Amino acid sequence: MDDEYVEAVLTLVERIPPGRAMAYGAIAEVIGAQLRRGGPRMVGAVMASFGAAVPWWRVVTANGRLPPGNEVAARRHLAAEGTPMSVDGDRVDMRRAAWRPDGP
């Protein structure tokens, strides 16, 4: 993917408010609507290489599972922000934490 796509993804991730989260697929829908390309996997690819520069822990899978490799740090950040978690604390409760660029 080119810089424009990477930029679009990172910009959107930066807009996610503390205590909220977005799934790879949800991000892909927003970006795809404006750039006409990409998909969940592309968003994952961007986060894998450039995610360190943004609040990456607010990006999770559709079912609320934390990004592979950094679950530990992610749980710490999420807890600090008071993000709605599942009972076991291993997943984000997307029913309550899901955020969209338009609605709060």
Q: Which of 15, 30, 40, 55 binds DNA (CB under 7 A)?
A: 40
Span from 52-60, 77-85, 95-103 in contact with DNA (CB under 7 A): 52-60
Please answer whether residues 5 and 42 qualify as being in contact, where contact means their C-beta atoms are separated by less than 8 angstroms: yes
Q: Which of 8, 12, 31, 51 binds DNA (CB under 7 A)?
A: 51
Span from 64-72, 75-83, 96-104 in contact with DNA (CB under 7 A): 64-72
Is 7 a binder of DNA (CB under 7 A)?
A: no
If we measure between CA atoms, which residue out of 19, 31, 32, 29 comes closest to residue 77? 19
Task: Please give the span between the terminal C-alpha atoms of the chain, in angstroms, as a whole number.
Answer: 29
Size of the site for DNA (CB under 7 A): 28
What's the Cα-to-Cα distance from 10 to each of 79, 84, 86, rounded to whole Å?
22, 23, 26
Which position has the token pair 């990456």?
56
Q: Which residues bind DNA (CB under 7 A)?
A: 1-2, 23-25, 37-45, 47-48, 51-52, 56, 59, 61-63, 67-70, 90
